[in-house]
Amino acid sequence: MKVPVPDEILPADRLGRVHFVGIGGAGLSGIARIMLARGITVSGSDGVDSPTLDALRALGATVHLGHAAAQVGDADTLVVSTAVREDNPEYLEAVRRGLRVLPRSAALAAVMADRRVVAVAGTHGKTTTTSLLTTALQVAGADPSYAIGGDLTATGLNAADGAGDLFVAEADESDGAFLHYAPYAAIVTNVEADHLDNWGTEEAYRAAFDEFADTLHPDGFLVCCVDDPGAAALAARQRAAGRRVVEVSAGAPGALAGVTLWSPGEHYLADALAALAAGVELGYDTDALVRGIASYTGTKRRMERKGEAGGVRVYDSYAHHPTEIAGDLQAARAIAGTGRVVVAFQPHLVSRTRIFGAQMGEALGAADEVVVLDVYLAREEADPEVTGAFVAAAVPLPAERVAYVASFDDVAGELAARARPGDLVLTLGAGTVTEIGPRVLELLG
């Protein structure tokens, strides 16, 4: 459900009691955590229990499982995620009572009010780059507030309310949220067509990034990773318009030359360079920022090592776009060394699979063995003509090295049967495929 952003977004301390529908999600849980740290009364609901909900309860939130109108309680403001349906009883109760109803983007803008915001946008790499910049600034002494679309491996947190004046935020373009933040500065990692279910055309998607850049403070700056043609073109247009633009390229590592990063892969190097450039432009010491980047241990679900059993290493990553698949397979190949790469991929969204399914399959051809799951539906209805079989058919490998496994419960066994000592198993996708890795380790053990 897409809730309109109000014309005036109040600071968080003026929202009263806040109730989150879908409080366990990556976006809303971080905002709730920051509000709790500021003494705001927070409640919420979600469909299933999780460690995230336990953490929010420990911080003082009242959290319900399931959805019911009575759970809105005495809230003054309701915050909803895009996954919430229009018939949700808590949303309907808030409308009936005339409560303030905010989408995720407006709630994030509310907690960012009065802070100097650095927004990290791009088709790929937002979470990693936001995490890198946050870690680098912390080591450099900035103590920023931050909101990330994933949990930092080092702390297990996806958000915190820092004492400094900076707020580092992952800026999501999927539903246009990033157009409402008016940041001081921004990073754009890349601009490549995605989320066309919302934007309609590639041209409209790319134009949104110009609109986003136009919202930056006049005294601020824009960092672009110019290895990507879309980001390079954006940089050129913004510089021509008078914007202060900093360009970075993995081909010119600069101060990071010789630094060992948490993961191989040129795309991860580009993310680190963008974070370093932003920190320097903000006025922080280069050596301290480099130390912070070198100390970064990753973000959950971004080339995250899950363990090893039977001589097989298992990793998990969020990649769900052809470019992301290619990048993470490049990293996996470097980590695997002389071992093979065995990948399980879960396509995410029917609309994305319909548009990019053939390219997904082509990118998966960089692995040695490929298992494709069925499409993770998320907010869409199933389409019998758009399944994981469509992706599997496009993988350019011999038929015996590719399998379409429609039953989720059979995937771990298929991977364990294909893997042998020395191999690296990589689970890819933005859905429930992340649950497969531990099952593979159990079977191999």
Binding residues for ATP: 122-128
Distance CA 18, CA 35 (A): 9
- Give the list of residues 6+ apart from residue 126 with CB closer than 8 angstroms, or none: 120, 149, 170, 171, 172, 189
Contact criterion met (CB below 8 Å) for 320 and 429? yes
Residue for token pair 């949990």: 151
- Single out the catalytic residue among 52, 82, 90, 126: 126
DSSP codes, 370-405: EEE-PPB-TTS---TTSSHHHHHTT--S-GGGEEE-
Taking residue 283's Cβ as centre, other Cβ atoms within 10 Å add up to 8
Is 435 labeled as catalytic in the residue annotation? no
Q: What angle do CA 150, 152, 153 make, to 5 degrees?
A: 120
DSSP 3: P
Is 2 labeled as catalytic in the residue annotation? no
Residue for token pair 């897409």: 2
- Single out the catalytic residue among 90, 170, 304, 324: 170
- Single out the catalytic residue among 41, 52, 77, 127: 127
Is 304 labeled as catalytic in the residue annotation? no
Count, residues in the chain: 445
- Which residue positions form the known binding site? 122-128
**CA neighbor of 72 nearest in space, from 135, 18, 142:** 18
**Long-range contacts of residues 153-159, Cβ cutoff 8 Å, at least 24 apart:** 153/297, 153/298, 153/299, 153/300, 153/304, 154/296, 154/297, 157/33, 158/26, 158/29, 158/30, 158/33, 159/29, 159/30, 159/31, 159/33, 159/34
Contact criterion met (CB below 8 Å) for 212 and 143? no
Contact criterion met (CB below 8 Å) for 116 and 166? yes
Active-site residue numbers?
126-127, 170
